Amino acid sequence: MKNIAVLTSGGDAPGMNAAVRAVVRTGIYHQLNVFGIMYGYRGMLKNEIFPMESKSVANIIQRGGTILKTARCKEFYEYEGRKLAYENLKKHNIDGVVVIGGDGSFNGAQKFSQEFDIPCIGLPGTIDKDIAGTDYTIGFDTAVNTAIEAIDKIRDTADAHDRLFVIEVMGRDAGYIALHSGIATGAEHILMPERKTELNEIVEELQANERRKKLVNLIVVAEGDENGGANEVGRIIKERCPQLDTRVCILGHIQRGGAPSCTDRILASRMGYAAVDALLEGIHNVMIGVVNDKIHYTPLDKAVKAKQEIDPEWFKIVKILAS
Ligand code: ATP
């Protein structure tokens, strides 16, 4: 293996730059030529492929987003599109590709590496932490910290006005951002898709809280929760508890941006390093994960969206600590 390439694909996540940096510098350390591909698979198809040096990745470990940009690419779903991508990689004699993205990107990489003689390694870059084969994904920790910072600020105003806030956090079909940020900010209730929550019970509790003069109430709702998101939860609470001053806040895209946390920088650096190692050792077409603090390989076709178990004890803890 002499020439490798790296790309970021799907939704962006803080820490992707740290992963790109690690791939580039580990490759150069092993005397490989490293290429960057702009805009994910779209750049493969459009031949937006350029050589990278050590200094191409200087001063990016602390930056959110991705210097390689990211995109979704319809043509890559088709064989003809992937063939064109292959031909472009061949023009640069690329013999291995590191794909930083989500499960969709790994699906694409899996198909591509089965059809053509270029192995791929996946790195899980998503704030949602919903991929099988790893305990953490690049971007999750930063997103949770961003959510915590925002919720702490909301708590101040909730406290000043004795208000109830229903706060929606990201995570798509997964509730880990809600669970972690809710516990860390002392939310009274956490609503997430992995566990059915009866709104009736929450309403009754809120009415009891009112009797015991609990002044600040925070409810954290994952965007994928089946009660319909914060707007709907807020609407029902306002209707059923008209005495409470209830407000809704949807945190939105701030959770995807910002400087990556220390944990994400370290995770991304470790995974990027391991990706190049794997390519050199002939461990191909796997996603690099970290399980129980050890590097773990999962075949790309098994690196799918997955819900990790959530210990029910957490909900008991939330309830006890917020009482
Ligand atoms: P995120 O989790 O942030 O959405 P993702 O990697 O899952 O990231 P997708 O939009 O699902 O994001 O996939 C990114 C790109 O990967 C697609 O635009 C497409 O080019 C390619 N891709 C996804 N699924 C497939 C597939 N089944 N076959 C071929 N290519 C695919």
How much distance in Å is there from the Cα of 37 to the middle of ligand 1? 16
- Among protein residues, the one with the nearest Cα to ligand 1's atom 11 is 104
Question: Tokens 């210097």 label which residue?
Answer: 67
170 found inside a domain: yes
Is 39 close to ligand 1, i.e. is its CB under 6 Å away? no
Give me ligand 1 centre to Cα 11, in Å. 9
Per-residue pLDDT at 211: 62
Closest CA to 128 of 248, 305, 249: 305
Provide the pLDDT for residue 40.
Answer: 98
Domain of 194: which CATH number? Answer: 3.40.50.460
Q: How far is the CA of 300 from the centre of ligand 1 (A)?
A: 13
Looking at the fold, whether 116 and 183 belong to one and the same domain comes out as: no
Task: State whether 10 and 130 are in the same domain.
Answer: yes
**Are 230 and 209 members of one domain?**
yes
Catalytic residue check, 225: no
Q: Can you give the pLDDT at residue 315?
A: 86
What's the domain range around 198? 141-256
Q: Residue 211, annotated ligand binder? A: no
Q: Check the annotation: does 8 bind a ligand.
A: no
- Mutate-to-test residue for ligand 1 from 107, 128, 256, 301, highest number of ligand atoms within 8 A of CB: 107
The number of domains in the chain is 2
Q: Is 24 annotated to bind ligand?
A: yes
Query: Ligand 1 pocket test: which of 8, 9, 42, 138 has the largest number of ligand atoms within 8 Å of its C-beta?
Result: 9
Of 95, 128, 130, 264, the active-site residue reads 128
Same domain, yes or no: 30 and 157: no
Domain termination residue (choose one: 256, 274, 290): 256
pLDDT of residue 215: 60
pLDDT tens digits along 67-97: 999 999 999 999 999 999 999 999 999 999 9
Is 117 annotated to bind a ligand? Reply is no
Q: Quick check: is 314 in a domain? A: no
- Indicate which atom in ligand 1 lies nearest the CA of residue 101: 6
Q: How high is the pLDDT of residue 137?
A: 97
Residues 211 and 288 in one domain: no
40: left (phi over 0), alpha (psi -120 to 50) or beta: left
Residue 53 sits in the same domain as residue 128: yes
Query: Is residue 307 assigned to a domain?
Result: no
Are residue 11 and residue 134 in the same domain, yes or no?
yes
What pTM did the predictor assign?
Answer: 0.95
Look at residue 6 in the predicted model and tell me its pLDDT.
Answer: 98
Do residues 152 and 239 both lie within one domain? yes
223 and 295 assigned to the same domain: no
Closest to 154 measured CA to CA, from 226, 230, 261, 263: 230
pLDDT-flagged residues of the chain (< 70): 210-216
